[in-house]
Structures are given as C-alpha cells and as structure tokens.
Amino acid sequence: MFQHLYGVYAAALTPLQEDGALDLDGLERLLEFLAQRGCHGALLFGTTGEGPSFSPIERLAALQRAVAWRQSRPKFHLLAGTGTPSLTETADLTRAAFDLGMDGVVTLPPYYFRKVSDDGLFAWFAQVIRQSVPARSAFFGYHFPNVSGVPLSIDLLARLKDAYPEQFAGIKDSSGDPEHARALGQRFGSDLAILTGNDRLFSLAMQQQAAGCITAMANLHSPDLRQAWDAFQAGDDAALAQAQGRLDRARQIMDRCPPFPPLLKALLARQHGFPRWRVRPPLLNLSPEIEEQVAADLALIAD
C-alpha cells in the first residue's frame, strides 16, 4: 500500500538564522539541493533536524513552507517528525501535518516515561492514529532506543499493523543493530515498510526487504545512497555499490564527532556553500578545531 514512499530520504537538517529563528528560505534551498542529488524525499524535524527542540508552531511553519516548495517538485516526498511526550500535542501536530499535505509522519514514542509496557505504548499510538491519521495515510513509528530510551518491540509493531493496516505504514529503524534489521525482515518481509536510519546498514536492510532509508548522511552523501538503491533495484550488488562510494568511510570519520547536526551544518557550508546555520541549545555549534580535523580526515578519502 505504501510502496510509493519507498526510497532514499534525507533526515534533513533544520536551517537556523544567527538569532536561532527558522531560516525558511534556507529550508527551500536545502530541499532543492537534496532533490537534485538523488533523494526521493526528506524527513523534517527528525533527530538530525533537532525536532524536539522546536515548538509545534515552528514545525508547522516549516512544513507549510516545504509543501509550498514541493509544488515545483511534485514527486519529492515529505515526511514530518511529530513525536512529543504529550499524546494530545502529538495527535494535534500529526493531524496538522496531514492537513498541510505531508506524505507521512514519523513519530517517536512518548520518551519521558521509559519503563512502559507494550500495552501502554499500543494504547498511546492507537489513540494518536485514531485521532489524527486519515485512512490510507502513512504513519511511521520511530525506533531509536539509544536516544528515546523507549524501544518499539517487534510484537508491538505487529499489533499496530494488524489493528491499523491502512495507517500504520512501518518504522524508521535507527537502532543500528544488524540483527534487529534481520529480525524485522524475517517477521514482516515487505508487509511493513522499514526505513533504516543507519547508513552503513543500508545494503543489508535492503536485502531484508527494507523500504529504503532515512539517514543523516544523506544531507551530504545522498548520491552514494542513491547509487546503492539503484543497484539493488536493478538486481545488482548493492553492498558493492555502497562500498564503492565514500559513504561508509565518511561515516566512520564523522561518528567520532557526535552529535551530527552541528557537524553536518558546518560541512554543508564548507563543501557546498550553504550558510553557516546555527544549532539550537542544548546543542552547540562545532568548534573550528574539530571542523578542521574532520575536514582534513575527509580530504584523505576524497576521490
């Protein structure tokens, strides 16, 4: 049902002006850049987009601008991060995202209470879906236990898919666990749309019938991800295609400098002439010393 949303997505950065306000012109420029470099779509206000740092009003202003930009790129898919610890706020934001014309939403579990049962999570997600997701609209859960502290178990996913087959599309799996990627493939095959959030697991995830990826590195390395995607669709060796690009080597370098938003913003400015967008506290802008070291390391793997 949701095959039209398969492909390579960027976990898009959120452009900010010097005073910390949204840079909506910069958002249009970034989306156009991603579209030109092979992305099928973008997720706005995910982890890389610093989603929890923005109010619903700010998020909706950016989503509205993105939908307006998409008039010139009608095949480019837009997903919105709508998860908050508040059930009511999450449902309201999700409903508004669909009303604006977003193609789907990616929703974190309520991440304040961490030791909750699958029954509790099912009740929370079920209420959000019933209140805010139209029939045949794509609702994705967000499995990122290392950050949210609240995993989405395979049994929970099965319950949600069985209960809401026309709305619960799948998950973004940012666990970074290859065994979990295999387990998802074995349990669901192509019945659930799994979008891996880990660049280095992309070819493996596709072998397990994943629907694509949503990754931070797509802000810089979407051509490499698209190369692996196209190879897999053509029946060629996606792992080889991925290895031939610079993605894996660049990811190893950048993994030494978490979190990703300040690093990616600095590299976009350095490599592609974007403004030096700020990050919002509690994140801090990248220090010049770290930027120079990462740039030097990346230069060693340049073609």
Catalytic residue annotation: 47, 112, 142, 172
Q: Which domains does the chain carry? A: 3-244 (3.20.20.70)
What would you report as the CA-atom Rg of the chain, rounded to the nearest whole angstrom? 18
pLDDT for 249: 87
Over the range 96-132, which residues count as b (16 or more CB within 10 Å of their CB) and which as e? bbbebebbbbbbbbbbeeeeeeeeebeebbeebbeeb
> Rounded to an integer, what distance in angstroms lies between the CA atom of residue 55 and that of residue 235?
43
CB-based contact 280:16 (threshold 8 Å): yes
Angle, CA of 230, 10 and 81, to the nearest 5°: 135
Would you write out the chain's pLDDT as a tens digit for each of its 303 residues? 899 999 999 999 999 999 999 999 999 999 999 999 999 999 999 999 999 999 999 999 999 999 999 999 999 999 999 999 999 999 999 999 999 999 999 999 999 999 999 999 999 999 999 999 999 999 999 999 999 999 999 999 999 999 999 999 999 999 999 999 999 999 999 999 999 999 999 999 999 999 999 999 999 999 999 999 999 999 988 777 777 778 888 889 989 999 999 999 999 999 999 999 999 999 999 999 999 999 999 988 876
**Structure tokens that stand for 222 in this block:** 């979407």
Amino acid at 217: M
Where helices occur in the chain by DSSP H, the ranges are 24-36, 56-69, 87-100, 118-132, 145-148, 154-163, 178-188, 202-207, 218-233, 238-244, 247-254, 260-272, 288-299
